Amino acid sequence: MSLIEVRNLRKSFGRLEVLRGVNLDVEEGERIAIIGGSGCGKSVFLRSLELLETPDDGQIFIDGEEITARGADVNSIRRKMGMVYQKFYLFSHMNVMDNLCLAPVKLLGLSRAEAEAQAMDWLSKVGLTAKSHAMPGNLSGGQQQRIAICRSLMMKPKVLLFDEPTSALDPTMVGEVLAMIRMLTKHNMTMLIVTHEMNFAREVANRVLFFADGGIYEEGTPAEIFDAPKREKTIAFIRKLKYFAYEITSRDFDLMALHGGVRVFAEKYGLGSKLAYRLELCCEELIYEVLAGSYGSGEQDVNITVDISYSEADGKTVLDLTSGGKEFNPFENEDDDVHLGVMVLRKVAGGNVAYSFADGMNRINIVL
């Protein structure tokens, strides 16, 4: 039995589906790094494990107990997990020792003396015994985060969840927190770590999950993910391609928001106004061609994703459009009797167009 089992986990915010049927098994002692772009669902997934976000569907088992079951003792199951957030959330009116001892005394039934002895043990491990009676406001950010990790460890969790634990820190303080997490690996602590520190993920993790498209897009050992990624978006992320994505779930989508996003993306990375205009034009014409060809006129709900990537290495800009609906290639008709939109796309894209249909999804690739 795995320490954590996740089955078909789904979570949406309005029409935005963030997690689309995620499945995962975590074994005791595993150290899993979760990476991916902003908004890909990494933190939502982690928070869902403790039901800090309520899943729309699916099951989560922690050490054999289903936390998502109706009538489950959620608080009891949560105690098997320790959560470390981006911000430290220490009680500002309590000193370090009080912060560390409060939960073990109230929830685990430890005496104050027992809790203090354990607290001093952890503080000695992280080099902060001299701060045992300091107030949080008198500590550096790195010190506060180390205390926050100690506070989680005081509850003797079976697994630690880290939600970008260094993102709120000054760069000079990142190293001390990462050093503490490295220390925990020597204690065989099971950890899931959402992080943007790629070198750290490579060093500490024994499995890496790359999140995209609403779930685990690719997974493997650090060597497999960082040195030899197989799937396109993983490759783009690892090679630090610049990336823009836009999802369309309704015919009544906001075209101006799409144009604005493309324009900001182009300006941010210096693509120039001419290329920005070509991207906007290709996006617009391609979307309306697919809406007309892949979906019936009465269908309001659609599934279209527009991805734009730009490589600083070779200056190449690529537009990918994926769509559900019926199989439809807007470029297959070579006759003159084609839509104006297709004529525009052919002119703007030249011959750099590819189409495929697999697993019920249309994919159109244009290199500009």
DSSP symbols for 79-118 = TTEEEE-SS----TTS-HHHHHHHHHHHHS---HHHHHHH
Q: What is the mean pLDDT of residues 115-144?
A: 93
CA distance 319 to 321: 7
Confidence of residue 360 (pLDDT cuts 50, 70, 90): confident
Q: What is the mean pLDDT of the chain?
A: 88
Determine what percent of the chain is predicted with pLDDT higher than 90. 48
pLDDT 10s digits, 286-295: 898 889 888 9
Strand ranges across the sheet with 317-323: 242-250, 301-310, 317-323, 361-367, 353-358
Do 4-235 and 241-367 fold alike per CATH?
no
Confidence of residue 341 (pLDDT cuts 50, 70, 90): low
pLDDT 10s digits, 146-189: 999 999 999 999 999 999 888 777 766 777 888 888 888 888 89
AA identity, residue 91: F
Q: What is the mean pLDDT of residues 304-312?
A: 84
**Structure token digits, residue 178:** 């990462």
The ranges assigned to domains in the chain are 4-235, 241-367
Whether the per-residue pLDDT at 121 is higher than 70: the answer is yes
Query: What would the DSSP string read from start to end of 180-222?
Result: HHHHHHTTT-EEEEE-S-HHHHHHH-SEEEEEETTEEEEEE-H
241-367: CATH topology: Heat Shock Protein 90 (3.30.565)
Q: What is the mean pLDDT of residues 285-314?
A: 83
Confidence of residue 339 (pLDDT cuts 50, 70, 90): low
Confidence of residue 336 (pLDDT cuts 50, 70, 90): very low
- The closest of 207, 274, 269 to 242, measured between CA atoms, is 269
Whether the per-residue pLDDT at 239 is higher than 60: the answer is yes
**For residue 20, which phi and psi values (nearest 5 degrees)?**
-120, 75
pLDDT at 185: 85
pLDDT 10s digits, 16-42: 889 999 999 999 999 999 999 878 899
Whether the per-residue pLDDT at 335 is higher than 80: the answer is no
For the beta carbon of residue 142, count every other beta carbon within 10 angstroms: 21
pLDDT at 52: 93
**For residue 19, which phi and psi values (nearest 5 degrees)?**
-120, 125
Range with top average pLDDT, 6-10, 330-334, 352-356: 6-10
pLDDT 10s digits, 78-107: 999 999 988 878 999 999 999 999 999 999
pLDDT at 342: 66
pLDDT at 344: 67
Q: What is the mean pLDDT of residues 336-353?
A: 63
User: 233, exposed or middle or buried, with CB in 10 Å at 0-12, 13-18, 19+?
Assistant: buried
4-235: CATH topology: Rossmann fold (3.40.50)
Give 207's strand partners. Answer: 32
Q: Which helix (H) or strand (E) is 301 found in, with range?
A: strand 301-310
CA distance 149 to 126: 10
pLDDT at 186: 83
